[in-house]
């Protein structure tokens, strides 16, 4: 278990972590998601003991880690830069944690262990090569191997897949999840890629400007996003956010568009209505909206259709099966359907912070 509470860390005048609270449960795969500069790496290095927080406590397995040296914390970390020794062989890099003066595994035992890890990661044939001669994907495996090679009570992984190309990234994602040690061990995984977070994380924490904005399972994050920023971060195409005003019986938007969202917010409140592109359909049961086609874009088996709503200029996008959308041309009139329970409601964005989600009533 990893628990951070009230962590503050400043570099000069810039605040990297601002009263950060985070809990990763025993055995859990936790994804920390945020844009660059949000404090993800600082959080990991604070857990590892490589950065000392200005205040706050770090608990590992219930023990206070104040003053405990990095090695003694018993965590293993994969760095974004991989931090491999470029002039040494892949074998030596994997052996480094085992040969360290604190660990000192007998050579024979180390060889066996490294052999097993290399087998698992499919790099047995590369062990004699200097890391400088390996490809990005191979280096990434070596870096991961260095994490797995000795037992640890937690794995800390800092964007381990970010330097890989899209195809390899997808493949490694699946492999990573399948590794037994990863399944058993508490893992804190940092990424800026929401697809990765959704695919890997048992739970996801969204970090922004040094603070955790929301923690939850992928369902919680998806269906009950804390604010518009979180809603925008997940899902491609991005969520549609239609500005509107709370009125009797629903929300009124531009161009005569009415949306059936009930809320306790006072009439006249400025709001944003969130509709995920996959929750909009070109037919079926639900609340109906009319509009005209603006543009269509083929995404393989489905089509992204952008529609101008009502008589106004507001546009929403939706993803429809190719069969339904194939005949659509710009300016064709269309009828859209959305189920009222899929509508999200947010406060309007303000300059100082994104709009928070507002509870809706059935």
Q: Which residues bind another protein (CB under 8 A)?
A: 12, 45, 48, 50, 52, 69-71, 75-77, 79-81, 83, 85-87, 96-97, 100-103, 146
User: Minimum distance from CB of 51 to another protein (Å)?
Assistant: 9
Query: Closer to another protein at the Cβ: 17 or 241?
Result: 17
Q: Give every CB contact of residue 11 below 8 A, 6+ residues apart in sequence.
A: none
Q: 7: part of which helix (H) or strand (E)?
A: strand 2-11
3-state secondary structure of 289: strand
Query: Closer to another protein at the Cβ: 96 or 170?
Result: 96
Query: Closer to another protein at the Cβ: 147 or 272?
Result: 147
User: Minimum distance from CB of 158 to another protein (Å)?
Assistant: 9
Q: 123: part of which helix (H) or strand (E)?
A: none
Tell me the pairing of strands 302-309 and 287-299.
antiparallel
User: Minimum distance from CB of 325 to another protein (Å)?
Assistant: 39
User: Minimum distance from CB of 143 to another protein (Å)?
Assistant: 9
Query: b vs e for 170-204, b when ≥16 Cβ sit within 10 Å of the residue's Cβ?
Result: eebbeebeebebbeebbbbbbbbbbebbbbbbebb
User: Minimum distance from CB of 255 to another protein (Å)?
Assistant: 41
User: Minimum distance from CB of 88 to another protein (Å)?
Assistant: 9
| Peptide bond preceding 237 in cis form (omega within 30 of 0) | yes
Classify burial at 41, counting beta carbons within 10 Å of its beta carbon; exposed 0-12, middle 13-18, buried 19 or more.
Answer: buried
Reported in sequence order, the residue ranges of 54-119 that DSSP labels E, i.e. its strands, are 55-60, 63-64, 75-78
Query: Closer to another protein at the Cβ: 49 or 216?
Result: 49
Question: How many residues are recorded in the chain?
Answer: 362
Query: Closer to another protein at the Cβ: 77 or 90?
Result: 77
Query: Closer to another protein at the Cβ: 79 or 189?
Result: 79
């Amino acid at each position: 278990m990893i628990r951070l509470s009230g962590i503050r860390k400043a570099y000069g005048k810039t605040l990297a972590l601002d009263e950060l609270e985070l809990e990763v449960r025993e055995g859990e795969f936790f994804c920390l998601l945020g844009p660059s500069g949000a404090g993800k790496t600082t959080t990991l290095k604070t857990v590892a003991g490589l950065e000392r927080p200005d205040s706050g406590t770090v608990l590992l397995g219930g023990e206070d880690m104040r003053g405990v040296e990095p090695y003694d914390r018993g965590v293993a970390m994969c760095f974004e830069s991989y931090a491999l020794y470029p002039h040494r062989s892949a074998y030596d890099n994997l052996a480094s944690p085992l040969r360290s003066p604190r660990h000192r595994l007998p050579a024979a035992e180390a060889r066996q262990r490294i052999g097993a890890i290399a087998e698992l990661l499919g790099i047995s044939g590369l062990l004699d090569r200097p890391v400088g001669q390996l490809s990005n994907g191979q280096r990434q495996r070596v870096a991961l191997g260095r994490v797995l090679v000795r037992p640890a009570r937690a794995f800390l992984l800092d964007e381990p897949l970010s330097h890989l190309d899209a195809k390899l990234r997808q493949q490694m994602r699946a492999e990573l999840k399948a590794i037994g040690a990863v399944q058993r061990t508490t893992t804190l995984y940092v990424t800026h890629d929401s697809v990765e977070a959704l695919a890997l994380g048992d739970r996801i924490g969204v970090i922004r400007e040094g603070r955790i904005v929301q923690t939850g399972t992928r369902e919680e994050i998806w269906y009950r996003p804390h604010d518009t920023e979180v809603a925008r971060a997940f899902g491609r195409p991005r969520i549609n956010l239609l500005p509107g005003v709370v009125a009797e019986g629903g929300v009124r938007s531009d161009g005569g568009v009415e949306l059936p969202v009930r809320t306790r917010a006072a009439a006249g409140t400025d709001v944003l209505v969130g509709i995920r592109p996959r929750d909009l359909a070109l037919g079926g049961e639900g609340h109906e909206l009319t509009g005209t086609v603006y543009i269509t874009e083929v995404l393989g088996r489905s089509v992204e259709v952008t529609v101008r709503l009502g008589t106004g200029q507001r546009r929403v996008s939706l993803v429809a099966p190719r069969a339904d959308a194939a005949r659509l041309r710009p300016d064709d009139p269309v009828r859209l359907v959305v189920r009222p329970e899929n509508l999200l409601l947010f406060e309007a964005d303000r300059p100082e912070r994104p709009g928070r989600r507002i509870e809706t009533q059935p």
